[in-house]
Amino acid sequence: MGYRIAPDCDGGWGEQRVRSCPVANSNRLAPLLQAYQRQQAGLCSLSDLFEAPSCAVLDLFAELSAQNQLAQARMRQRAAEEAAPHGSNRR
């Protein structure tokens, strides 16, 4: 069975297959997601959060950053398409 990874995920993530319910491990990920959000908000640095971050933590932060940037780009694209006069984006 496939689960949608995020409401506004990239098309490649839409076909992602997981072997169990994604909510099952949410308690394990919650502290990492909170740490990422705090770091992105400028409240602390990565070294403040983790004395010696593992490769998995670094990969997670990089992936979250990339996916957030892609989501923001999709939002800007949709806003531009909605703001454009009808027919102006047709070629």
Q: Where does the pLDDT of residue 14 fall: very low under 50, low under 70, confident under 90, or very high at 90 and above? A: low
**Amino acid letter, 16:** Q
Is residue 91 scored above 60 in pLDDT?
A: no
Beta bridge partners of 2: 17
Contacts for 27 with CB less than 8 Å, ≥ 6 apart: none
**How many other CB atoms sit within 10 Å of the CB of residue 7?**
6
pLDDT in tens, 16-73: 555 556 566 667 788 888 999 999 999 999 999 999 989 988 998 998 899 889 989 9
- Distance in angstroms (rounded) separating the CA atoms of residues 74 and 90: 19
Per-residue confidence at 1, pLDDT binned at 50, 70, 90?
very low
What are the domain boundaries of the chain?
11-83
Kindly tell me the burial class for residue 35, based on how many C-beta atoms sit within 10 Å of its own C-beta (0-12, 13-18, 19 or more). Answer: buried
